[in-house]
Amino acid sequence: MLGAALLLAALPLVGCDPNTVLDVTDPDVVRPGNLTGKEALPALRSGVFGSFQIAYSGGGDLQNGGHEGIINLSGLFSDELINAETFSDRINLDAHRVTAANGTMVALFLDLSRARAAAAAASRKYAEFDAGSAGHIEMIAIDAYAHVLFGEHYCSGVPFSTITDNEELQYGEPLTTTQIFEAAIARFDSVITMAQALQDPDLVSLGRVGKGRALLNLGRFADAAAAVAGVPTDFRFEIESSTNSDRQKNGIWHYFTNSASFSVADREAGVGLPYASDDDPRIRPEDTGGPGFDGATELVVALKYPDATTPTVLADGVEARLIESEAQLQGGSPSAMLGTLNGLRATDGLDPVSDPGTAEGRVDLLFKERAYWLYLTAHRTGDQRREVRQYGRSVASVYPSGAYFKGGSYGTDYVLPVSADERNNPNFQGCINNNP
């Protein structure tokens, strides 16, 4: 069940600082109640970032068959990746045949829930012992970004349970997709206000990009552009990876290079984007010349993630410009949109794009530019949903259908289901709806 798993058992042991207060009765686990005082806050912060890395970019360990992370799994679920191995849970995800009891989905929901709950718990500790500090702001931001990821990927009606400082489970009520994004915005507003008081421009930008992303998901385009105004294009906030342990390795690199599980997709089912054949430097696809783990599927890796230590961008100034470009299109200024997109392309030495000349073509261009700039950063699933929800595109024009290349047909699942383990929550009776 989710409750026990939300306990912060993944927190690392604190080092040898004699001022750190640790009251440990279980030598294998550092529990929330054992960490008291300001000196213990770095351990909480480290644990949150470690948990969030696993949930976001994944790891290279073998637990649960490996921590895939939402970037990899949403890549499979969208048109970014195709399956190149034999694990049935991930094959069914790639084919849009997903159940709430799918073991991979249960593990992902748990990882993301654990990271969110850890960030919220750490934020409470910071509020008590070091309010308004950079660490406090980061914890609120991670909590907010976890909300955004739930809102973009999961069905409407996700429950957000919590673990109290006394290690008691409080079952959460399901939130609609709109409510999830609104909750994220409230947290990002706190991040921005606190970071401004601290005079930390990077943390201000972290909050602004997150708020803009949440507003974009709500279709509040002008507000989203206003939120990111002033974010420098060269701003980057990254989730670090490390070779200190397999668990800390970049999971995107791992599933390309170590396990040959996933391959860069190319026009999946005739409706996906040509990520592999376009040979775009923002993706850097490389055909390995051999098959993946299944011995049959051509393995194309993305050299955007060349090493086990490659960090993963959570928010950056590029996304801020993309948000502004979409608001310009929505505001009836396609020429301004093109100017913003081409300004971005110039920063990477890319040739400018020209006006497609039609409203539909401009939307295609916008979403392709977003897909390539934000490739494998857990944005594409949310963007495909927005194409249907906000731009009125048909499901058939956005999502794959027909025969699936590993057998059977593509299913009709367009959002991720809440884990079957949430049936232990008496407040949760199933998704409110499964619409894009």
Q: What is the pLDDT of residues 317-368, one digit of tens each?
A: 999 999 999 999 999 999 999 999 999 999 999 999 999 999 999 999 999 9
Dist. CA 281–CA 265, nearest whole Å: 15
Structure tokens of 407? 């057998």
In the chain, what percentage of residues exceed pLDDT 70? 91
Confidence of residue 164 (pLDDT cuts 50, 70, 90): confident
Output the pLDDT for position 408. Answer: 98
Output the pLDDT for position 66. Answer: 66
Confidence of residue 86 (pLDDT cuts 50, 70, 90): very high
Burial call 363-372: b when 16+ CB within 10 Å, e when fewer:
bebbbebbbb
Q: What is the pTM of this model?
A: 0.93
Q: What is the pLDDT of residues 253-296, one digit of tens each?
A: 999 999 999 999 999 999 999 999 999 999 999 999 999 999 99
Output the pLDDT for position 402. Answer: 98
Confidence of residue 62 (pLDDT cuts 50, 70, 90): confident
Output the pLDDT for position 384. Answer: 98
Is it the case that residue 3 has pLDDT exceeding 60?
no
Top-confidence residue, 14 or 391: 391
Is it the case that residue 28 has pLDDT exceeding 60?
no
Q: What is the pLDDT of residues 194-250, one digit of tens each?
A: 999 999 999 999 999 999 999 999 999 999 999 999 999 999 999 999 999 999 999
Is it the case that residue 183 has pLDDT exceeding 80?
yes
Residue 402: Cβ within 10 Å count:
10
Question: Using alpha carbons only, how large is the chain's radius of gyration in Å?
Answer: 21
Dist. CA 56–CA 72, nearest whole Å: 9
Output the pLDDT for position 22. Answer: 35
Does residue 232 contact residue 267 with C-beta atoms inside 8 Å?
no
Is it the case that residue 26 has pLDDT exceeding 50?
no
